[in-house]
């Protein structure tokens, strides 16, 4: 079992090597420049690595990029093995990162909250207080204390 620092260091190396190889070494037109490696995670025994990626484009671009990554898996693993210099090169698994979809969901929720705040602000713009503007007693207001003692 490797320690977490070693696994993190290997994950960072894999992310850098895969990104550089995709940018310069792999000549697959399906990958192009619209594939971005976002994160890499390595298991504790350093045998398997999961590489998260995003693709800018529509669903067709995402499907073709997934097929391109699957076909370039051997070349990328060889490059990782040469750079890492470890006894065993981890197997690579490519997973589409859900980060853009999550970010869009959060943006939609924030837009709804802004719209709701605007409605509340518009409804309360002409409203008045139900009682006095300042409903709290102030120290030194003797007439309130005298009225309460008289009752």
Residue in 69, 110, 121 with CA at minimum distance from that of residue 92: 69
Rg (CA), the chain: 30
Structural domain boundaries enclosing 22:
2-102
The answer to the question of residue 128 being in a domain is: no
The answer to the question of residue 41 being in a domain is: yes
Residue in 99, 103, 94, 102 with CA at minimum distance from that of residue 41: 94
The answer to the question of residue 116 being in a domain is: no
User: Beta partners for 54?
Assistant: 36
The answer to the question of residue 82 being in a domain is: yes
The answer to the question of residue 92 being in a domain is: yes
Confidence of residue 56 (pLDDT cuts 50, 70, 90): confident
The pLDDT score that the predictor gives to residue 92 is: 92
Confidence of residue 34 (pLDDT cuts 50, 70, 90): confident
The answer to the question of residue 112 being in a domain is: no
The pLDDT score that the predictor gives to residue 21 is: 87
Number of domains in the chain: 1
- CATH number for 95: 3.30.300.20
The pLDDT score that the predictor gives to residue 127 is: 78
For the four alpha carbons of 53, 15, 91 and 49, in that order, the dihedral sign comes to negative
The answer to the question of residue 18 being in a domain is: yes
The answer to the question of residue 124 being in a domain is: no
- 131 or 119: which leads in pLDDT: 119
Give 89-125 pLDDT, tens digit per residue.
Answer: 999 999 988 777 788 889 999 999 999 999 988 888 8
């Amino acid at each position: 079992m490797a320690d977490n620092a070693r696994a993190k260091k290997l994950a960072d190396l894999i992310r850098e090597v895969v990104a550089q190889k995709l940018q310069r070494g792999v000549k697959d037109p399906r990958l192009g420049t619209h594939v971005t490696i976002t994160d890499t995670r390595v298991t504790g025994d350093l045998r398997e690595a999961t590489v998260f990626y995003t693709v800018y484009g529509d669903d067709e671009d995402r499907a073709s990029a997934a097929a391109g990554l699957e076909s370039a898996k051997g070349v990328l693993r060889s490059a990782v093995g040469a750079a890492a210099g470890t006894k065993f090169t981890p197997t690579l698994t490519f997973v589409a990162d859900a980060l853009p979809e999550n970010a869009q969901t959060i943006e939609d929720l924030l837009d709804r909250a802004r719209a709701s705040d605007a409605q509340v602000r518009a409804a309360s713009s002409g409203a008045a207080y139900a009682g006095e503007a300042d409903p709290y007693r102030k120290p030194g207001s003797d007439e309130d204390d005298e009225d309460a003692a008289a009752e």
